[in-house]
Chains A and B, each alone.
Chain A
Amino acid sequence: MGLKETLHQTKLKYQGKKMAPAFNALHTFLYSPNETTHSGGHVRAVDDLKRTMNTVILALVPCLLFGMFNAGYQHYSAINGFPENFSVMEHFITWDNFWLGAITILPLVIVSYGVGLAIEFVFAVIKGHEVEEGYLVTGMLVPLIVPVDTPLWMLAIAVAFGVVIGKEVFGGTGMNILNPALTIRAFLFFAYPTWMSGDKVWVHGAVDRAGTADAISGETILGYLAQGNSDFSYSLSDMFFGFIPGSVGETSTFLILLGGLFLIFSKIASWRIMLSAVLGSLAMGLIFNGVVQAGWIPEYSKFYGLMSFEFWQHLLVGGLAFGIVYMATDPVTGSQTNKGKWIYGFLIGFMSVMIRVFNPGYPEGVFLAILLLNVFAPTIDHYVVRGNVKRRMKRLKNATILPKVSGEVEELKTETV
C-alpha cells in the first residue's frame, strides 16, 4: 500500500474527529482528495485554492532567491565598497552572497510560516472547519516585504496580529477585508518604526554596527530622495534588475515583471489591476513632473527631490512593482468586477506615488495605498454593479418590444426589476 492509499485510509478512519481538519490539511497538501461527488452535475477540478496559492508561491520564488543574493551583495559591498566593473556572475551570484542571504532570510521565512500556519491550524480545529490555505501565499509574501534584519520576535508578533486581527476575526480566508500580508507590514511599521525605515535597516548588519568604527549604511533610493536630494548613484539597470537596497524581495523589478507575466498567463492574477495600477502611478508621476517643469515648486522644497524623479522610474524603485503584481491582485481583497478592477488598480497606483511624494517621514506609500483601496473595493464594486443595472434598465425601457399578447411588456418589465 503506497503512501497515498495509506493517507486515504487514515483519513476515513479519523473522519469527524477533533484533529481531522489538521490531518486533512496535510493530506490535501500532498495529494488531491479521492472523493467523488455523488449527485448533480459537478466537476471536480484539482486546481483548487491550494493549487492557486502554490502558483503564486512559484512566481515568488525567483524574488526570494534574488533577495538572498542581494542581501549578501549589499552587505559585502557596504563593507568593502561597491565593485568597479560590476559583473553579475563575479560579484553577485556568489556562494558568499547566497550563504549570507540564506542564513538571514530563511529564518524570516520559517518564522512567518511557523507562526502563521500554527494559528491557522488552531483556528481550524476550534472551528471544526478544513484548514484554509490562505496563509500559504501570505507566509511567503511577508518575509519578502520586510527589511532583512527585522528581529524574528517582532515578525512573529506581527504575523500573529495580522492573521488573527486581519483575517480570522472576519471569518478566515476569503472573508478578510484587508490583505493579511500588508496588515502585518502595517503593524510592523507603526509598532516598530525604527526597524522599518531609515538608513540602517536595509543592509544586513548595519544596525549592529551603528555607532562603531565599522558602521555601514545603505539607504533606499526613495529614502534618499525624500530628504530632498535629487541625484543618486544607482544606474537605471541597477534599479531595473534590483541591485539596490530595499526590502528582501521587492528590489528586482525584472523578476517581478517575470512573475507578473507568469501570473497573468496562468490566469491567476488580474491583468486589469496590474495594468491600471501601472497607468495610475504613471499618471500621478506625470502630474508631479509637470508641476516641477512648470516651475510651481521651488528647488529647496522638501518635495522637490521626489517630485522631479522621472515619472516612470517610480516603478523601478521601492515596493511599487511588487505591490502591484503580488498584493493589489489579491482576489479576496481587491475589486471583483472588471470595471471595478480598472478603477481599483488605477487608484492604487495613483495613491502610491502621491503618498510617496507627500509623506516625507516614510517614502513608501504602496502598502498604505493598497490597504486604503482594499477598504474601498466593495464600495467600488457596489457602484459598478448599480451602474450596470441602471444601464440595462434604461436599455430595457428604450427597447421596443412588440407584444404578441397585450400586457406582456408590463410583465417583462416587472420581472427584470
Chain B
Amino acid sequence: MALLSKKDANLILDPLADNNPITIQVLGICSALAITAELKASLVMAISVIFVMGIGNIVISLLRNVIPSKIRIIAQLIVVATLVIVVDQVLKAFAYELSKTLSVFVGLIITNCIIMGRFEAFALGNGVWRSFLDGIGNALGYGVILVIIGFFRELLGSGTLFGIPVLGDPIAKTGLYSIGYENNGFMIIPPAALIVVGIIIWVQRSRNKALIEEA
C-alpha cells in the first residue's frame, strides 16, 4: 500500500511544480527577495515556514467548525502569530547570529500571503490530515524556490555556499580567483533575486507551455 493516496500525494507535489506559490501564484515575493542572499538564511526561512504552515493548517483545520466566519481572519492571525513567535524565540535561543540576519523577516512570516492564503483556501474547508499535507506541500514549494535563489545568489555573489568558500579565496587569489574571476556584486542586492525569480518562472513556463496564461 502506498504511503499516500494519489490525491493526497498531489497535495504535496502540485505546489512543488505546477502550482508553485512563488513562481505560479507569485505570492511571498517579499521575503524571497529580502533574505535569499545567503543559502543558510534561505534554508532556515524555508524550514520556519514549513513548520508554521504545517502546524498552522492543522490548528485551523481542527478549529474550522468553531471559528465564526466573521472573525476568521483574526483567528487565523492569532494562530500564525503564535507559531511565528515560537519560531522567532527558538532562533534567538539557538541561532542568534542567523536570527539577526533574518531580522524582521521571521516576524513577517505572519504577513506571508501564502500562509493566510492556504488557511483561507484549504484548511478552513478540509480535514486535518489533508490540511497538514497541503500546508507542508505549499511551504515546500516556497522553500524549494528560496533555496534555489539562495544557492545562485550566494554562489555567484559571494563565492560561498553555507558560508564555505567553494570557488577559492578572493583575497589570496586561489582557485577560480587566480585566473581573474570576481564575485558578482549585483547578486548580493535584492533586485538580483527578482531577476532570478523571473528566470525560474521563464524556465518553468517554457518547459510546460500549459502554464502560460492567455495574454
Contact = CB atoms under 8 A, between A and B. Distances in A.
Interface of A: 151, 153-154, 157, 165, 169, 187, 190-195
B185 interface: yes
Contact of B198 (A151, A169, A192): A169
A192 B180 contact: no
B184 A151 contact: no
A191 B195 contact: no
B186 interface: yes
B96 interface: no
Nearest to B184: A191
Given A151-B180, A153-B180, A187 B186 contact: yes
A194 B202 CA distance: 31
Contacts of B104: none
23 contacts: A151-B180, A153-B180, A153-B181, A154-B182, A157-B184, A165-B195, A165-B198, A169-B198, A169-B202, A187-B186, A190-B185, A190-B186, A190-B189, A191-B184, A191-B185, A191-B186, A191-B187, A192-B182, A192-B184, A192-B185, A193-B185, A194-B182, A195-B182
A169 B198 CA distance: 10
Nearest to B202: A169
* Interface of chain B, main secondary structure: helix
Interface size class for chain B? Answer: 10 to 19
Contacts of B186: 187, 190-191
Most chain B CB atoms below 10 A, which of A190, A191, A192, A195: A191
A88 to B, nearest CB: 36
Q: Which 6 A-B pairs have the closest CB atoms?
A: A191-B186, A190-B186, A191-B184, A191-B185, A192-B182, A193-B185
Given A154-B182, A192-B182, 8 more contacts: A157-B184, A165-B195, A191-B184, A191-B185, A192-B184, A192-B185, A193-B185, A195-B182
Contacts of B180: 151, 153
A154 B179 CA distance: 13
A187 B187 CA distance: 10
Contacts of B195: 165
Contacts, number: 23
Contacts of A151: 180
Contacts of A193: 185
Interface string B158-187: 000000000000000000000011101111
A193 B186 CA distance: 9
Most chain A CB atoms below 10 A, which of B181, B186, B187: B186
Nearest to B195: A165
A192 B187 CA distance: 11
A153 B202 CA distance: 25
A154 B180 CA distance: 10
Contacts of B189: 190
A375 to B, nearest CB: 13
A45 B104 CA distance: 61
Contacts of A187: 186
A342 B202 CA distance: 37
Contacts of A190: 185-186, 189
Contacts of A192: 182, 184-185
Nearest to A157: B184
Contacts of B182: 154, 192, 194-195
A123 to B, nearest CB: 12
A165 B182 CA distance: 21
B183 to A, nearest CB: 9
Contacts of B187: 191
A39 B110 CA distance: 64
Contacts of B202: 169
Nearest to B186: A191
Contacts of A195: 182
B190 to A, nearest CB: 12
Interface in B196-213: 198, 202
A151 B181 CA distance: 10
Contacts of A157: 184
